[in-house]
Structure 1
Amino acid sequence: MLYKSLISIYGSSIAGKSIPVEDVVWRFAPSENLKHFREYAVDALCQAKVYLLDHLAAAYADTLHEAVTENAGEGNPPALAILGEVKLPSPVVWVEFDDRALSIARFERGSAFARFDDNPIGKGLRGYLLDGRNTDCVRVTMFHKRLEKGIVDPLCALIVRRSASGTLDYDNIEVDLSQSMVEFYMRTGASPEKITGMRTVQVVETGSDLFIPYALFAMLVSPDLGGIIPTETTTFTQKDIKTARKFGKPWILGAQKSHLTIRIGPQAAAHMAERTARLEFQRQVIDTRNGPARHWVSEHERHYRSGKVALVKGHHRGHEPARNLPTRVMGPRLDETSFEFPAKELPIHD
């Protein structure tokens, strides 16, 4: 569980007891800024209400994101704005899910978020720390532990300000860059341009899946729980606590002893099955049609409604038309095209 790993590693680093293999950043580029961030993170994690979504629950929330995005209509407002004002269930909240499993689910069902991916791109665990203790804003920090790698601190966090009416303004989000992580990447030889690119990726990844924790919060206060089943689960066992006392690890003793594991019920399972069947039917209908003639598509950027930006390399699209099929040529629509001819003087005969 990423929550446990963060508290253990961050607490150990502050106490000067972290293991180099697990804590590359602290061992390679320690600094006061990094220490202050980790002290803040441990304090917030210890106070947070903790939720762990299993792979089906995360995929269910993701399908709701797709449905909201598809129905956004004109103006393309942020999905969170369409979801409405959702209050945090606690001043500080931690929401965790398996990013790898979510990516596989997206790829297998042909999600619009994975439309241009050749393979599932998720790698490891992802956790959102949402800190609403400041009445003026909510601080969103996304932690990502990639497979077979130690924890690397986030390069930046998002600051969602509140408007005069008290609602969160998703159109005006600030990016708080971590100076300690900039120093770390510079020591590893990263150029300023590469660091800027990594910052952009961090912002996009944080914003693209921010809908998942907020959808969870909305379902938790709905009368039927939105098809989810929360179950209280022990985070730190009695053995963990006994070991922490023996070796002097107060950061574990002060953490939450339990969390809520989120699973889906019959209602959510039926929704996902219906959506999968509908998308498969749509794909079959499209496949039976004669697609566009083969042509070259130049390299371009693909902008998603979630904020994700993907570079699409130049490629051929479509297929060679069958020789036994007539070619259909479509002209301009009459209601959109008009032709104006210059006035012509008629000859005058005496």
Structure 2
Amino acid sequence: MILYKTIALKFGHHLENADPVEMIGPDGEKVSSEETRQQWQAVLNDLSSAKIYLLDHNAANYLDSLRMDVQGLPSEKRSESRIQDYVRDVDLPRELIWIEYDDRKLWEGRIARGVATLSKDELSKRHQRGFLFDNRPSDKLTVRLFSAKTNTLVFDAPLVLEIAKSHDGRPNFNDASWQPQRPVIAGLMRAGLLPDEAALRVHFEEYNNHLTYEMVIGFMLFAALAAREDDLASQEFQSLTKSQAKTARKFGKTWMTDAPKSHITIRIGPAAERHMTEQLARLSFEKALITNRAAPIEHWVAEHERQYSNGKVVRVRAHKRGRSADGTLPARVMGPLIKG
């Protein structure tokens, strides 16, 4: 499943064939059918103008590991200013950007790296995720999160995160707000997914946490692309085959032909592979140290004096101490091997 294609097909089909009903919004006011249609059209317009990046599971995990190097694990509770200062200086490559990845694969990678736990049931509920970054306004940056619940069911963004910009055009994370999308919330309420105010609060809190934590992966991608190193490899693909495009034009499916004509798939390169290998080895090594209370890695102890309580003084010659380094681990993880 490619999420942005699914959204374009779904909303385009709705605009062409569906007649949305009036609904009651979270504020108790009616949401007109025209307001719903405008919501669908706005999403289609943004997708058709956006630069599309699809992260494969290795690239998503690599960028996630870079983010954790700066932001830390959720359990570490590092100061938010640390990651905010980093993200603030990252330049977006385009004004309108879509970033998509497989959330289940991302969490499988986190579990494999030993930085998170998740039950099989919770893992099975995770599918594709997409973030839409809109940097067009001069006074704010907006971010929306779209999530697939199945291969055909997609949740639009119930809230839009608006981050005000400072005088230098950089995002000011101390001045952010959430803007509700009335047609989306009304649709969830009508479907029985948000039956009461308590369910509404839980859904919003979960959405807010997911968006604010995971959107940093996007900024890590922007930073990596700007660095132009060999940690990431990109390849452009056409969104529609020639036959699909021909069929869409034949039947006047403008919402298909107006969708992004191509997307860029991001994979990891040699540097990222080394980084992930070293990180896994380091985490495994640290876990073994904690579990087995292993002796320190072999190192030199300088000549020194040892004094005993009875007044005796013994001069200890320089010697090696600890266990031999594991040759299967990268040198950067273990430190330089001792020779001689």
The partner residue of 1:135 within 134, 138, 143 is: 138
Deviation, structure 1 residue 147: 2.9
Q: Which residue of 2 aligns with 1:41?
A: 43
Contact 1:86/1:214 (CA < 8 Å) preserved in 2? yes
In structure 2, the gaps of 5 or more residues are: 20-30, 295-340
Q: Which residue of 2 aligns with 1:150?
A: 153
Rounded to whole Å, the distance in 2 between the matches of 1:75 and 1:182 is 32
Map 1:290-329 to 2 at 5 A: none
Q: Which residue of 1 aligns with 2:262?
A: 258
Moved over 4 A (4+): 71-74
Amino acid at match of 1:273: T
Mean Cα deviation higher: 100-109 or 186-195: 186-195
Rounded to whole Å, the distance in 2 between the matches of 1:76 and 1:245 is 49
Deviation, structure 1 residue 149: 4.6
Deviation, structure 1 residue 73: 9.4
The partner residue of 1:213 within 214, 218, 230 is: 218
The partner residue of 1:236 within 222, 226, 240 is: 240
* Count of residues in correspondence between the two structures: 276
Rounded to whole Å, the distance in 1 between the matches of 2:152 and 2:16 is 22
Contact 2:238/2:263 (CA < 8 Å) preserved in 1? yes
For 1:306-332, what per-residue CA distance to the aligned partner results, in whole angstroms no more than 9, with x for missing partners?
A: xxxxxxxxxxxxxxxxxxxxxxxxxxx
Q: Does 1:89 align with 2:93?
A: yes
Deviation, structure 1 residue 240: 1.5
Deviation, structure 1 residue 261: 0.7
Q: Which residue of 2 aligns with 1:318?
A: none
Rounded to whole Å, the distance in 1 between the matches of 2:90 and 2:46 is 20
For 1:219-259, what per-residue CA distance to the aligned partner results, in whole angstroms no more than 9, with x for missing partners?
A: 1111315x000111111111111111122111111122111
- Cα 1:215/1:80, change in 2 over 3 Å: farther
Normalising by structure 2, we get a TM-score of: 0.76
Q: Does 1:79 align with 2:87?
A: no
Contact 1:185/1:195 (CA < 8 Å) preserved in 2? no
The partner residue of 2:162 within 140, 159, 163 is: 159
Rounded to whole Å, the distance in 2 between the matches of 1:17 and 1:241 is 23
Rounded to whole Å, the distance in 2 between the matches of 1:142 and 1:102 is 16
Amino acid at match of 2:248: A
Contact 1:156/1:175 (CA < 8 Å) preserved in 2? yes
In structure 1, the gaps of 5 or more residues are: 19-28, 291-350
Rounded to whole Å, the distance in 2 between the matches of 1:145 and 1:74 is 30
Amino acid at match of 2:169: G
Q: Which residue of 1 aligns with 2:285?
A: 281
Q: Which residue of 2 aligns with 1:9?
A: 10
- Cα 1:7/1:134, change in 2 over 3 Å: same
Deviation, structure 1 residue 150: 1.2
Contact 1:80/1:211 (CA < 8 Å) preserved in 2? no
Contact 1:136/1:161 (CA < 8 Å) preserved in 2? yes
- Cα 1:212/1:251, change in 2 over 3 Å: same
Partner secondary structure for residue 97 of structure 1:
strand
Rounded to whole Å, the distance in 2 between the matches of 1:53 and 1:145 is 16
Amino acid at match of 1:248: G
Deviation, structure 1 residue 203: 1.0
Q: Which residue of 2 aligns with 1:271?
A: 275
Rounded to whole Å, the distance in 2 between the matches of 1:161 and 1:133 is 12
Rounded to whole Å, the distance in 2 between the matches of 1:147 and 1:81 is 36
Q: Which residue of 1 aligns with 2:113?
A: 109
Contact 1:244/1:252 (CA < 8 Å) preserved in 2? yes
Partner secondary structure for residue 224 of structure 1:
coil
- Counting aligned pairs with the same residue, the percent is 30
